[in-house]
Amino acid sequence: MPEDEPPHGTILTNARIVTPDGVHHGDLHIADGKITTAAAGDEIDLAGRYVVPGFVDMHVHGGAGASYQRPDRARRAASFHLAHGTTTTMASLVTGDERELADAVTGLADLAADGVIAGIHLEGPYLSRDRCGAHDPALLRAPDLAEFRRLVRLGRGHVRMITLAPELPGALDLVREAAGSGVIAAVGHTEAAGDTVRAAFAAGARVATHLFNAMRPLHHREGGPVAAALNDPRVTVELINDGVHVEPAVARLAFAAAGPRVALITDAMAAAGMGDGDYRLGVMDVQVRGGRATLAGGTAIAGSTITMADAFRRAVTAVGLPIEDAVRAASLTPARALGVADRCGSLEPGKDADLAVLDGDLRVLQVMKQGTIVPRARILGDN
């Protein structure tokens, strides 16, 4: 190929391209799986449809009837979310005993090495019994550096984040250990007061796990984890934007306080995409009724049943965000939190061609992963 001739690829023409600074009508050039400044090749006329970066979900437990707790079923969950626009996904694990977590981390590390998932998130087991949510309180325990180091070793570099309650004995030492080993420490499932949470952030914690949920609530005389996270410019705050965990008015408050630091997440469990029924989340029985997942026989919320496409669309239609701000929260902010914004999270030359095409109602029509169109038949994944 002559040096002055553009590479052969694909051109998405007549598109509404959503970037962090607004919506631009034009063409998007793709070659060799990357976004480029110019390319020759097949043209696809999008007739004015939106193109957004692929969604990045940093907190998700499963979907399509499959749980990341079962690595042998994890491909099905990842394929389901990919077909709905999530081109970068973490695999979140709930609390388990030492053997269960070790086996899950070992299996998921293989999938991370294959690029099926972006990494492993340990949500527990070092959580507060008072704020355990859908975690089995009998399996919760104090932070254990030896166990954590063993899990990191089994993860072969793919354990990317751990959520813990900073008030537990030894928690700040584990935060420092995590930060020193390249694992993101996240504060969540906590009854801690604001001073303790701020100490965790000072020690290196950089994420607040599903803000407002499973943590001491905001109070005007003791702001607790919510105020500590919203006021710290170093901290990314997760938000489950399903209308169940957080109402739109509260979501608007979070965006008003920490806009560029708010990362939409799904916290989706196996029921996502499957409808009402009875499911499992770790060792806990979960019932889904009307799309709402709760522990069987109780009222505690047990994750969500949404996709990131749902969370993104609700950010625009229910919360009232401009589309570019919703895209940032669903893509670029979580990509930055995970340290992968150099390759995904926005539609910029040099980054992977991970994107979704949306109709005027912001529903996903097509997904592209590294320049390859994802067949819609994969919507229910493969085993």
pLDDT at 279: 87
Which residues, in sequence order, are CB contacts of 96 under 8 Å at separation 6+?
A: 69, 104, 124, 125, 139, 282, 283
The predicted structure's pLDDT at residue 60: 98
What is the pLDDT at residue 136?
93
Q: Which residues are catalytic?
A: 267
pLDDT score for 218: 96
The yes-or-no verdict on residue 176 having pLDDT over 70 is yes
pLDDT at residue 153 tops 80: yes
- Our measurement of the distance from residue 36's CA atom to the centroid of its chain's CA atoms, rounded to an integer in Å, reads 26
In sequence order, what DSSP letters do the residues of 194-210 get, joined into one string? HHHHHHHHHHT--EETT
* Domains of the chain and any CATH numbers: 8-52+348-375 (2.30.40.10), 53-338 (3.20.20.140)
Taking only the tens place, the pLDDT of each residue in 343-372 is 999 999 999 999 999 999 999 999 999 999
pLDDT of residue 131: 95
Sign of CA dihedral 125, 127, 128, 132: negative
pLDDT at 1 over 60: no
Q: Taking the CB of residue 379, how many other CB atoms lie within 10 A of it?
A: 17
Average pLDDT of the chain is 94
pLDDT 10s digits, 223-254: 999 999 999 999 999 999 999 999 999 999 99
What pTM, to 2 d.p., does this model score? Answer: 0.95
Return the exposure string of 221-237: e unless at least 16 CB atoms fall within 10 Å of the residue's CB, then b. eebbbbbbbbebeebbb
More confident residue, 276 or 195: 195
| pLDDT over 70 at 381, yes or no | no
Is the separation of the CB atoms in 148 and 103 below 8 Å? no
